[in-house]
Amino acid sequence: NAGVTQTPKFQVLKTGQSMTLQCAQDMNHEYMSWYRQDPGMGLRLIHYSVGAGITDQGEVPNGYNVSRSTTEDFPLRLLSAAPSQTSVYFCASTYRPNTGELFFGEGSRLTVL
């Protein structure tokens, strides 16, 4: 029972490089989301999706792109990484977004030099 799987767990990038953080869930959840966690800032919502083909912006969407071509996958793309994007990224999913009960992945730690 894998739940929410994030890859990679760790990544170091140089400023200006691009990369994709992968997120997959095997619970058939329609709702998926990405958060970033920074010291003193808590968890901030980047993007979310209520189903395949539908995405929307969260609190801090700038610098990130998402797409949702399947129910299972919700990749997060950084097109041109900046040091301000150094953070721990968490993907989450749920079958009931109105109740807020999210299932989280273990996180991906990204460092941008």
Partner 1 sequence: DQQVKQNSPSLSVQEGRISILNCDYTNSMFDYFLWYKKYPAEGPTFLISISSIKDKNEDGRFTVFLNKSAKHLSLHIVPSQPGDSAVYFCAASAIDDKIIFGKGTRLHILP
Distance between CA atoms of 105 and 24, rounded to whole angstroms? 9
Of 17, 44, 67, 72, the one binding partner 1 by CB under 8 A: 44
- Helix, strand, or coil (residue 64): strand
Beta carbons within 8 Å of 86's beta carbon, 6+ residues apart:
110, 111, 112
CA 26 – CA 56 distance, rounded (Å): 22
Please identify which residue in 92, 93, 110, 112 interacts with partner 1, judged by CB under 8 A.
92
The region of 20-28, 48-56, 61-69, 73-81 touching partner 1 under the rule CB under 8 A is: 48-56
Q: How many residues does the chain have?
A: 113
What character string, x for contact with partner 1 (CB under 8 A) and - otherwise, covers 56-85? x-xx--------------------------
Give me the residues that bind partner 1 (CB under 8 A), please.
Answer: 4, 31, 33, 35, 40-45, 48, 50, 56, 58-59, 90, 92, 97-107
